[in-house]
């Protein structure tokens, strides 16, 4: 069953699609039918030090896209890809931990952008798990035979 899934699905696409979802969430409505880009523009006129927080999904999505593209480009850079993806997810988690307490009154009216970002976060996280749990030889199809000891 799993081999049938592996034929039709390349697991490296999890990270790419996750980072694309995170980038797209920047331009979709989050709270009170405003996109994060609109909220960023509004807050730059009021409090410039808080405004850059609303660009974090875009920044973290781009960082995760670069991290996933590294492993698509060359398989030997697996650990580098995981490190870059962790940095991107770290930026996104900072954003969520700062944003959710501020926008708590708007949580009942969450828009589709929030769900896209959470879906992107989960896909990138599962991509990281797949990279770390997959043996390099298994992925290439070169599973070595156990040596016989005499």
| Contact criterion met (CB below 8 Å) for 64 and 15 | yes
Total domain count, the chain? 1
Residue 6 included in any domain: no
Residue 68 included in any domain: yes
Residue 86 included in any domain: yes
Residue 88 included in any domain: yes
Residue 90, token pair as written in the block: 């770290």
Residue 142 included in any domain: no
Residue 139 included in any domain: no
Other CB atoms within 10 A of residue 36 CB? 25
Whether this model's pTM surpasses 0.75: yes
In the chain, beta strands by DSSP E: 29-31, 34-35
Q: pLDDT digit of tens for each residue in the chain (150 aa)?
A: 556 656 556 667 888 888 899 889 888 888 777 888 888 888 887 777 777 777 888 888 898 888 888 887 777 878 888 888 899 899 888 888 887 787 777 777 788 888 898 999 999 898 888 888 876 655 555 545 455 454
- Domain boundaries, position 62: 11-134
């Amino acid at each position: 069953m799993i081999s049938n899934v592996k034929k039709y699905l390349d697991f490296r696409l999890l990270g790419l699609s996750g980072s694309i979802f995170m980038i797209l969430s920047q331009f979709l409505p989050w709270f009170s039918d405003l996109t994060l880009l609109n909220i960023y523009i509004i807050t730059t006129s009021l409090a410039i030090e808080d405004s850059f927080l609303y660009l974090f999904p875009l920044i973290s999505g781009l960082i995760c896209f670069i991290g996933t593209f590294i492993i698509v480009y060359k398989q030997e850079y697996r650990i580098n890809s995981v490190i870059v993806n962790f940095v991107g997810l770290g930026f996104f988690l900072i954003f969520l931990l700062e944003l959710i307490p501020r926008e708590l009154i708007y949580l009942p009216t969450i828009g589709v952008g929030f769900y896209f970002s959470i879906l992107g976060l989960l896909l990138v996280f599962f991509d990281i798990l797949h990279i770390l749990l997959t043996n390099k030889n298994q992925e290439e199809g070169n599973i070595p035979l156990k040596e016989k000891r005499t």
